[in-house]
Structure 1
Amino acid sequence: MAARFLAPSLLALAFGSIMPAHAAEAAADNIIITARAQTLYRVQDTEVGKVPANPLDMPQSVQVINSDMIEDQGARDIRDLYRNVPGLSANNYATVTFRGFRQDTTYYDGLRGDPFQTFSVPQLFTIDRVEFLKGPAGMLYGAGSPGGTINYVTKKPSETFAANIRAIAGGRSRYGGSGDVTGALDASGAISGRLGLVYEDFDSYRVNASSRTIIADGGLKFRLDENTSLTVQITDYDQDLPGNRLRGIPVDANGNFLTYRSWNHNEPGDFIRYNGLVSQARLDSKLSEAVSFNVAGRWFRYREHQEYHEPVALRDTDADGIFDSITREFRAQRRNVEGLSFGSNFVVKTNTGPINHTILLGGDWYREDANSRLQSSRNVPMLSLNDPQYGTANPIDLSTLPITRSDARVTRYGVYVQDQIGFGDHIILVGGVRRDWFKDEDHIAGTQADASATTWRGGAIYKPRKDVSLYFNWSQSFEPQSVANQSPLVGGPFSPETGNQIEAGAKTDLLDGRIQATAALYRIVRRNVLQIDDNQDAVNGVDQMAPVGEVTSKGIELTLTADITRNWLVSGSYAYNDTRITGSAEGQSIDNSVGDRFPNAPRHQAGFWTRYQIPAIDTAIAFGGQHVSSQLDRSGDRLKPFTIFDTTLTKSFAFAEVKLRIENIFDKYYAVSGFTGPKGAYIGNARSWFIELRKRF
């Protein structure tokens, strides 16, 4: 309860530290002044390719969701943005499926150090924009999935004063508030600061479950000279999630849910408590018009304490052929993760005659230590799917349960070089290479694996005019095998999984941004996937592994953002993906696959968002939808296709701005992804709504 009263006090302190110097500048705002595609959603600069560049000048599919779109849609966490990114869909918790492959590594300001690695979902309050680089990015980021890379760009202090304060209320007892303020802290503007705080509390549509989130965020920017600045930031995340960790709702082979949406396998006393702390610093310097560099470091730590009831097996207690109950296991887990990363980029622009060069030299280093402890007991009563009786489970004395521990360290570091060559105004060629080294250590098993990898990237762009870009790229990725599979007991160590992509596409920024469109056609091949090798005998009862798996992903992606009229904006996307196993040991199946298909990889996705503003009454109406075709879960059960719709209504008054958001307007009961039979299908949010009152200065 104390946190509920602490949040408003901290927010008042944050505003009080900056606002007095700027009180005379405060003025009512108007939502109507920037409501066009060329200004509202348009992004003309991104650093996801390590060098600041217009997306049209990058030979790879890139999509950026900026703060205006995040705000316009009322998005609270990353799941609210999936409809906008073709080829991206929910997997489970914070992981996604990216061009057919599971992806669970994300970056913040270009560095590793994700504070949402397990069962918490990335929040957007501290995020200015989210950058999605499609396909392999090994040359730029090192080890990772070949499907794509997500980079969160955080909000930074600004010399220009800006502030806003918000209050929120809505269905399921939702309430909360947030605010942030930024501006110069001295008369010369040499030091600027930013402070932000959010508090939000609401009940889940799942019985016994609710959510409380507090995020405090701050930063300072020091202008050391005209061309050099140092930015330091710190963010604290605190979440209390009673009735979690939430699994899904069981389904039958045809995707029919076996119980109602509000059912929960957790008891009223179950919970997740999460705390994450992040600090980072970055030095940017422009030595001349031709030479610039940046050096950055990021440290993070998160602590997660869980006590919950895990679904184990479905049961048919009355022998009528229909599952009606589920067995459970009580689990108490503690996870502790700490990571440190550094990165540096040195950019040189030079000419050799009529040819322009942008040369990138860089390197990065990352270390992460993770340990956990697990206690579990199956001395738990079964739970009915249709008539659950909560509170019947006997309290479990944790001191009587054995402890299973894990303790691991991963180390990643690499260096890279890239040259972007411009031939006049129409042709750009890109080529780069990276060398990586990595070491994975399991301190419990006493094993370690270390190796190295080289990845390449090449591309070409032809611009028949400055607002049209035709591109082609070939890129690679690598991903180390898991520590457990590197053990000599199973035949390890093994070379990393590798991926390569061929992609061709077109991008436009026509009519000064009034029509922004992209089209991409790609083929990704992932090799060295480990499988049990039936040609080798088991050693001491342990199956031997071999890197004999291959998976191929093919697809097409389309996006369009356009001004229909001066007051009517439309954004839409479509993706087709076909991911299949194209090489495998006879009689074996690649882990997490179902036949020759992969779970949670829909073939068809489509999404749209349209916004119409009525200047005469200072009102904007927005409406969006998402369609996802059928999928398979990890048990091979079908997940039905779904189509959902959301809306927002924003009205400006003289004193403030009011936003109404309704999610899942028609209260569709649907599955966004699936796990295994007893753990069920992860379900989309039931219909919800909130009203937000905001005052901007």
Structure 2
Amino acid sequence: MKAYLLLGVASTTLTLAPAHAQDTASPIDTSPATEQGEDLDQENMIIVSGRAQKLYRAGETSSGKLETPPLESSLVITTIAEQLIEDQGARDAQDLYRNISGVSFFSYAGVTARGFRQEEIFYDGLRGDPYAGFSVPQLFNVERVEFLKGPNGMLYGPGAPGGLFNYITKKAQDDVLEGKVKAIAGTEDRWGGSAEINVPLGNGFAARGGLFYEDRGTFRFNAASRTTIADGGVSFDPGPVRVDIQATRYDQELDANRLRGVPVDDDGEFLTDRRWNHNEPSDFLNLKSDVVQMRLEAEPVAGLTLDATARYNTATEVQNYHEPRGLFDSDGDGVIDATIREFRDQIRTQETWSFGANAVWEADLSATVRNRVLFGFDHFLADTFFQGRSLRGTTTDTPGLPNPLSLFDPQYGLSDPATYNQGPFRVTISDTKQTGFYLLDELTIGRLILTGGIRRDDSDADGLVEGETTYRGGLVYRITDEISAFGQYATSFEPQSASSQNPLAGGPFAPTKGDIFEGGIKTALMNGRIQSSLSAYQIRRTNILQSDPRGDVGNDGVDDLVALGEITSKGIEFDIAADVTPDWVLTLAYAYNDTRITGDNGGGGFSNNVGDRFANAPEHQLGFWTRYQFPELGLATALGGDYVSKRVSISGQPVKPYMVFDASLIYETGPFRALVRVDNLFDKTYAASGFIDRTGHFPGAPRSAFLEIGYAF
């Protein structure tokens, strides 16, 4: 479990910057501490200079379509910068979830965001996630991660109301020759390395390339992974035009790693070892994915900026795994001690095209009035293919069927898929087209900033044509140069899944919809020494499909559905980052969330009842990250803590609260850097999230450690 830094509660965008980075617009450059020589020399360039503003720099982001400083934005965006990713030794998206207040792990690449399950992932503002199906995004070629909170339909089209991830990829730069190599070794047979280089080629041309490989076991029996990423790109930036072309190959081999949870009892206690795995050693999940992307940026005339991006991805994910299908008592002693298993043989492929373009016009209408107008569109094409078959076993060893597996004494290798009496494959092919046009206006009148936007989306999913309009409105008032008050209203929608649109079940159904009311205060006090934010929000999610209480209304053999459900999420988030001393920095964040079922159809659908808390939505989250540095030694130490309160699983089983701690030690001198990380410092046994009763809760990782050594030039 990675030590984490809680960033950006209620839209303060906090990012980690290198010690030698200078920002002439930042108050840090003229602060008393800087005048006293607080910055470190280049010989011992230890990460930060001891200032919260420099360590967690508030900067502009791209996820809001209009790049805007946090104190001037009504959006709620958390940014995790490359330096933070490196400091935490993060390898994949799961290592970063706890850096974002209001976000907690759900499963695989999915999270609970402000009470709702969220799986929306964008790259450079476009759809086209290269990690098809159940693989987790890796971070090697990612410059920063931005999480845009709340319903964002007006900016990005269909999506969950909790928010979305936008991964900003690394691109070639023509102003610096630099490179770095790293090696890593750790517990659980972890080892690997990486190399990157950026080369200016002259006349505005530049090239970069990178190669990453890591082999590691995991704490679950039989599970391991081998990941290779090859990434390269070229850029041409003569001004006022810039062109970036990138190509990336992702290759993951995951042994016995299509992981479910570990079964629990009705008190939320694991029934067996947290290392228990339902998969056989021969099971696997392998992904191969290729991405090509081209981006054009231009400023043809003063005040007008243009950008256009095209992204192509093709990916294949092949899986063989054993799914837990039912717990039972194998010896009749009244104790649940085994599970039935189902073998699944699956192939998923996807081929996607994404296009997006934006035009921004900016003008000063008077000495105190400024206006920015954004017009844009995006278009997404996806061809997906699924081929799968499954075979369920029984409670006894039966030839030709998957054998059951003991919870307490699992015997692997006794069940061979080559001997299974498998049936034919089931094939599903799907084609999706989606186009959106949007208009956004930002008007600044003195200290008041007003924003309003509208978007129209039209889609065709296997012949089902739908259209939806979404809106956004926001306001910011600069109370002083250091304090802003903000508010926003925004809407979102999600088309119903293709499997739910069967006319025999009452379909097609209108999309699920969401909206948000939010308001708060952001500050950057004492020349940025103390950054804080406070916000309160309410999100509603409506038109959720549930089972029709009348069952099969038309006597056509298919149970009917009805769209009547409602979930309401209310929350308060508070964040502060401050200098305790010139060498001691502390961040503290607290998030309260109350997500409850507020409407159903009166007869089923939801696992829980009206008034109950929604699954995997914690009521309280509290986190801290503190670091102290010893400049004369080139050392920095850090300690992080993460508390998540009690939740309920999808099946209504309790998920117990937990608090875990992580620590790191960093040494840096000249071009050399070493990082020692210890995760789950006190080896806490806990559930990171709950799922359903037959598959159990997802266990948190036990204590682990690694050493990473790097050289930069």
Distance 2:607 2:493 in 1: 18
Which residue in 2 is equivalent to 1:316? 329
Is 1:430 paired with 2:445?
Answer: no
1:288 positional shift: 2.6
Distance 2:333 2:125 in 1: 55
Is the contact between residue 127 and residue 155 of structure 1 (CA under 8 Å) also seen in structure 2? yes
Is 1:405 paired with 2:427?
Answer: yes
* Residues 266/111 of structure 1: CA separation in 2 closer, same or farther (3 Å cut): same
Percent identity (aligned) = 45
Count of residue pairs the alignment pairs up: 661
- Aligned pairs for 1:147-226 (under 5 A) are 147-159=162-174, 160-186=176-202, 188=203, 190-223=204-237, 225-226=238-239
* Residues 340/655 of structure 1: CA separation in 2 closer, same or farther (3 Å cut): closer
- Aligned pairs for 1:138-537 (under 5 A) are 138-159=153-174, 160-186=176-202, 188=203, 190-223=204-237, 225-353=238-366, 354-378=368-392, 379-397=401-419, 400-424=422-446, 426-441=447-462, 448-534=463-549, 537=553
1:399 positional shift: 8.4
TM-score between both structures, scaled by the size of structure 1: 0.92
Is the contact between residue 84 and residue 608 of structure 1 (CA under 8 Å) also seen in structure 2? no
SS at match of 1:39: helix
Which residue in 1 is equivalent to 2:28? none
Task: Encode CA deviations 1:194-235: one digit per residue, 9 max, x unaligned.
Answer: 111111111111111111111111111112x32110001111
SS at match of 1:513: coil
Which residue in 1 is equivalent to 2:35? none
1:179 positional shift: 1.6
Distance 2:638 2:295 in 1: 37
Task: Encode CA deviations 1:405-458: one digit per residue, 9 max, x unaligned.
Answer: 12112221110001100002x1100000001111211xxxxxx32110111100
Task: Encode CA deviations 1:131-189: one digit per residue, 9 max, x unaligned.
Answer: 11111111000000111121111111112122111011111111111121113023x3x
Distance 2:605 2:630 in 1: 56
1:35 positional shift: 4.7
Is the contact between residue 598 and residue 611 of structure 2 (CA under 8 Å) also seen in structure 1? no
Distance 2:56 2:684 in 1: 28
Which residue in 1 is equivalent to 2:644? 628
Unaligned runs of 5+ in 1: 1-26, 442-447
Which residue in 1 is equivalent to 2:16? none
Distance 1:375 1:398 in 2: 12
SS at match of 1:38: helix
- Aligned pairs for 1:660-675 (under 5 A) are 660-675=676-691
Distance 2:416 2:206 in 1: 55
**Which of 683, 687, 695 is matched with 1:679 structurally?**
695
1:297 positional shift: 0.9
1:301 positional shift: 1.7
Is the contact between residue 330 and residue 337 of structure 2 (CA under 8 Å) also seen in structure 1? yes
SS at match of 2:568: strand
What code does the residue aligned with 1:516 have?
Q
Distance 2:467 2:432 in 1: 14
**Which of 571, 586, 602 is matched with 2:618 structurally?**
602
* Residues 117/631 of structure 1: CA separation in 2 closer, same or farther (3 Å cut): farther
1:319 positional shift: 2.5
Query: Structure 1 stretch 345-354 or stretch 530-539: which is displaced more?
Result: 530-539
Distance 1:502 1:306 in 2: 42
Unaligned runs of 5+ in 2: 1-41, 393-400
1:655 positional shift: 6.1
Is the contact between residue 144 and residue 169 of structure 2 (CA under 8 Å) also seen in structure 1? yes
What code does the residue aligned with 2:450 have?
L
What code does the residue aligned with 1:213 have?
T
What code does the residue aligned with 1:638 have?
P
Is the contact between residue 85 and residue 573 of structure 1 (CA under 8 Å) also seen in structure 2? no
1:120 positional shift: 1.1
- Aligned pairs for 1:59-208 (under 5 A) are 59-159=74-174, 160-186=176-202, 188=203, 190-208=204-222
Task: Encode CA deviations 1:321-365: one digit per residue, 9 max, x unaligned.
Answer: 321011111111111111110001100012444421100000000
Is the contact between residue 104 and residue 117 of structure 1 (CA under 8 Å) also seen in structure 2? no
1:588 positional shift: 2.1
1:290 positional shift: 0.8
SS at match of 1:196: strand
SS at match of 2:411: coil
Distance 1:327 1:535 in 2: 32
* Residues 300/595 of structure 1: CA separation in 2 closer, same or farther (3 Å cut): farther
Is the contact between residue 142 and residue 170 of structure 2 (CA under 8 Å) also seen in structure 1? yes
SS at match of 1:267: coil
Distance 2:576 2:116 in 1: 24
Is 1:555 paired with 2:577?
Answer: no
Task: Encode CA deviations 1:522-581: one digit per residue, 9 max, x unaligned.
Answer: 001111112233368244132222221111110111122222111111122211111111
Distance 1:534 1:450 in 2: 28
Is the contact between residue 59 and residue 473 of structure 1 (CA under 8 Å) also seen in structure 2? yes
TM-score between both structures, scaled by the size of structure 2: 0.90
SS at match of 1:56: helix
Distance 1:340 1:397 in 2: 40
Distance 1:47 1:217 in 2: 22
1:388 positional shift: 1.0
1:467 positional shift: 2.5
1:592 positional shift: 8.4
Distance 2:610 2:138 in 1: 32
Is 1:44 paired with 2:59?
Answer: yes
